[in-house]
């Protein structure tokens, strides 16, 4: 005759509906005559009934954050392939004037680089359309045109001094098209400290009529944000220099619509009255700043939305921002 | 979502389609988040754990063969992520703490009393509160198995897949977890109402 130890072990199963019909029958029969087992059963039932009920809704940004990181991983490659970083000799081929093509920010820049990298990918049409729209750029475009036909050739000139990647696995072979993200990283590394902007852009931006910082999201000229005052404006020269030092680009990512809408924008920087090369026009440039998962991201006002992962520590940027805010008070 | 739909999305995700994975995230995030929340006890850590679990799922999605439901696989990742987190947290606090208490502590089950069978609404509420407090005090392995069984409603077989245990071990561990929980409740000074059916118990 089984003793209480045996019955005790099936009590749990009965509570969970996992006992076989025979076991259930046995146990019920036993409990009629055994108060201890009855009390244990009733206690187990009691705590089961008293378990927390109802599912909590996860935070709205959970899914967006997850997809953001997954897409970021996808863009920048999950396992970084160690390669010697080589100076890209594209500059040797481009005339000084043509260099300025690279300095055009926004969609045109993106399109241009695409075309250089993937000459047969059909981006040529896009490029031609964009380029044709602005006659000031056409001279530079002609200089760059011959390279639309060729593969990009990479010369083994020198290794970047502070390579973040491991040494020692194969150099990039000639005629191998580079990933766009690697290219931009290289281009940026040609200039001061991985800056988000190339040199000539930076010169324009530093001379911008005004640089204003807004907390969170801000859209200039929209009625929704009409009443908003900047948290800091009229940055002095030192602040501007610091700002540009902080705005570094480590890698590029694309955004899905979900991610873009749901993530918190830390601040928005508006550069107004930025002179355009070789033109009397001025433009505004809007840079959105995200901090997510302890990484800083910058997005330039361009279509499609591209954001740059930065290697600046978020805390450094936050301190800079706080410093400006406090100075204004 | 049916199992076929799920498998389809998984296959697409295996091919690199992140939009399909996003659908899987949206469909499973509540379960994952709730398990994590009960495991780690606060929203911020629960969000981190959920995120880590889903990202691990994406990165190792080639390894999902469809033998079980995707949610079971996710529960497994979530459980492991949470247990690792709790272990490293407790390691920081107590160097030589052994969190695992799978041994029978040798005591007879303290026979629970009538407080476990509440009659009135107030008594029920008090038991609920006591159970909630008691769950938090359980050793991690007992806590997770009760959460999977009671909150997520998994069967013994599903639990054995999530925790990589034999079904027999699942049964005995659930029993010991409940026994331990009862013990905790009995020594909970705040679990102190006088049951309407018995005058001799008290503060």
Which residue did the predictor score with more confidence, B179 or A95? B179
CA–CA dist B49, B81 (Å, integer): 6
Q: What digits encode the pLDDT tens for the residues B23-42?
A: 999 999 999 999 999 999 89
The pLDDT score that the predictor gives to residue B195 is 61
The reply to whether residue B131 touches residue A73, judged by beta carbons under 8 angstroms, is no
Q: What digits encode the pLDDT tens for the residues A122-181?
A: 333 333 222 223 333 444 444 333 332 222 222 222 223 223 333 333 333 333 344 444
Which residue did the predictor score with more confidence, A20 or A84? A20
CA–CA dist B109, A11 (Å, integer): 13
The pLDDT score that the predictor gives to residue A188 is 45
Q: pLDDT category, A292, cuts 50, 70, 90?
A: confident
The rounded mean pLDDT for chain B is 84
- Residue % of chain A over a pLDDT of 70: 57
Question: CB burial class (10 A; 0-12, 13-18, 19+) of residue A316?
Answer: middle
Q: What is the mean pLDDT of residues A21-39?
A: 91
How large is the angle between the packed helices B3-14 and B18-40, nearest 10 degrees? Answer: 110
Residues 6 or more apart whose CB falls under 8 angstroms from that of B195 comprise B113, B114, B115, B117, B118, B119, B123, B201
For A301, phi then psi, to 5°, come to: -70, 100
Return the residue of A nearest to B32 by Cα.
Answer: A58
Q: Could you tell me which residues are beta bridge partners of residue A300?
A: A287
The pLDDT score that the predictor gives to residue B93 is 63
The reply to whether residue B149 touches residue A71, judged by beta carbons under 8 angstroms, is no
The pLDDT score that the predictor gives to residue B197 is 52
The 3-state DSSP class for residue A213 equals strand
Q: Determine which of A53, A70, A75 to mutate to test the interface with B (most B C-beta atoms within 10 Å).
A: A70
CA-based diameter of chain B, in Å?
67
Q: Which residues of A touch B116 (CB under 8 A)?
A: 39, 42-43, 46-47
pLDDT higher than 70, residue B124: yes
The pLDDT score that the predictor gives to residue B200 is 44
* B151 closest CB neighbour out of A50, A52, A256: A52
Which residue did the predictor score with more confidence, A140 or A260? A260
Q: What is the mean pLDDT of residues A100-104?
A: 33
The rounded mean pLDDT for chain A is 65
The pLDDT score that the predictor gives to residue A262 is 59
Q: Which residues of B touch A52 (CB under 8 A)?
A: 38, 128, 131-132, 135, 151
For A90, phi then psi, to 5°, come to: -55, -35
User: Distance from B33 to chain A by nearest Cα, in Å?
Assistant: 6
CA–CA dist B21, B10 (Å, integer): 7
CA–CA dist A127, A84 (Å, integer): 30
Q: What digits encode the pLDDT tens for the residues B147-173?
A: 999 998 999 999 999 999 999 999 999
* B51 closest CB neighbour out of A39, A51, A66: A66
User: Distance from A61 to chain B by nearest Cα, in Å?
Assistant: 9
* B156 closest CB neighbour out of A18, A36, A42: A18
Q: Enter the pTM of the model.
A: 0.58
* Structural tokens at position B143: 């806590």
C-alpha of B1 from chain center: 23
Planar angle of CA A302, A307, A313, nearest 5 degrees: 135
pLDDT higher than 60, residue A192: no
* A9 closest CB neighbour out of B37, B59, B175: B175
Q: Which residues of A touch B178 (CB under 8 A)?
A: 12, 15, 44, 47
Least confident of A51-60, B104-113, B121-130: B104-113
The pLDDT score that the predictor gives to residue A159 is 29
Least confident of A3-17, A20-34, A185-199: A185-199
CA–CA dist A178, A266 (Å, integer): 32
Spell out the SS3 assignment of B16-38.
CCHHHHHHHHHHHHHHHHHHHHH
User: Distance from A246 to chain B by nearest Cα, in Å?
Assistant: 27
The reply to whether residue A46 touches residue B58, judged by beta carbons under 8 angstroms, is no
CA–CA dist B84, A300 (Å, integer): 39
- Please tell me whether the interface predicted TM-score (ipTM) of this complex is above 0.85: no
């Amino acid at each position: 005759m089984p003793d209480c130890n045996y019955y005790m072990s099936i009590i749990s199963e009965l509570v969970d509906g996992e006992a076989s019909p025979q076991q259930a029958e046995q146990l019920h029969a036993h409990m009629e005559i055994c108060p201890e087992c009855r009390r244990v059963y009733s206690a187990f039932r009691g705590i089961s009934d008293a378990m927390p009920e109802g599912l909590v809704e996860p935070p709205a940004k959970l899914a967006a954050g997850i997809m953001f990181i997954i897409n970021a991983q996808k863009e920048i490659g999950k396992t970084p392939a160690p390669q010697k970083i080589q100076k890209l000799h594209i500059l040797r081929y481009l005339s000084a004037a043509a260099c300025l093509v690279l300095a055009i920010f926004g969609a045109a820049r993106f399109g241009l680089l695409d075309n250089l990298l993937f000459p047969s990918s059909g981006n040529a049409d896009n490029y031609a359309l964009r380029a044709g729209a602005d006659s000031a750029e056409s001279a530079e475009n002609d200089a760059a045109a011959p390279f639309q036909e060729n593969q990009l050739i990479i010369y083994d000139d020198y290794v970047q001094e502070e390579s973040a990647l491991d040494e020692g696995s194969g150099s990039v072979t000639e005629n191998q098209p580079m990933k766009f993200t690697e290219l931009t990283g290289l281009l940026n590394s040609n200039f001061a400290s991985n800056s988000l902007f190339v040199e000539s852009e930076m010169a324009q931006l530093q001379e911008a009529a005004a640089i204003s910082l807004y907390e969170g999201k801000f859209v200039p000229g929209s009625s929704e944000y009409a009443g908003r005052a900047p948290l800091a404006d009229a940055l002095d020269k030192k602040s501007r220099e610091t700002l540009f030092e902080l705005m570094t680009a480590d890698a590029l990512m694309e955004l899905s619509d979900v991610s873009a809408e749901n993530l918190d924008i830390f601040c928005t920087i508006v550069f107004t009255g930025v002179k355009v090369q070789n033109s009397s026009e001025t433009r505004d440039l809007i840079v959105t700043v995200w901090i997510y998962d302890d990484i800083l991201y910058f997005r330039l006002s361009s279509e499609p939305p591209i954001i740059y992962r930065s290697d600046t520590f978020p805390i450094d940027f936050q301190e800079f921002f706080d410093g400006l805010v406090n100075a204004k008070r | 979502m049916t199992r076929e739909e799920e498998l389809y999305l998984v296959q697409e995700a295996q091919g690199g389609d992140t939009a399909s994975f996003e659908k899987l995230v949206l469909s499973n995030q509540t379960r994952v988040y709730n398990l994590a929340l009960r495991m780690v006890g606060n929203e911020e850590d629960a969000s981190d754990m959920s995120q880590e679990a889903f990202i691990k799922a994406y990165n190792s999605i080639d390894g999902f063969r469809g033998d079980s439901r995707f949610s079971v696989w996710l529960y497994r990742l979530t459980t492991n992520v949470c247990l690792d987190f709790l272990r490293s947290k407790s390691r920081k606090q107590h160097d030589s703490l052994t969190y695992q208490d799978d041994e029978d502590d040798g005591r007879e089950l303290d026979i629970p009393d009538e407080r476990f069978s509440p009659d009135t609404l107030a008594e029920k509420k008090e038991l609920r509160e006591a159970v909630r407090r008691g769950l938090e005090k359980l050793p991690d392995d007992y806590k997770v198995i009760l959460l999977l069984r009671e909150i997520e409603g998994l069967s013994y077989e599903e639990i054995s897949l999530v925790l990589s245990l034999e079904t027999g071990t699942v049964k005995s561990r659930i029993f010991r977890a409940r026994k331990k929980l009862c013990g905790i409740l009995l020594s909970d000074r705040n679990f102190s109402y006088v049951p309407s059916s018995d005058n001799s118990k008290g503060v």
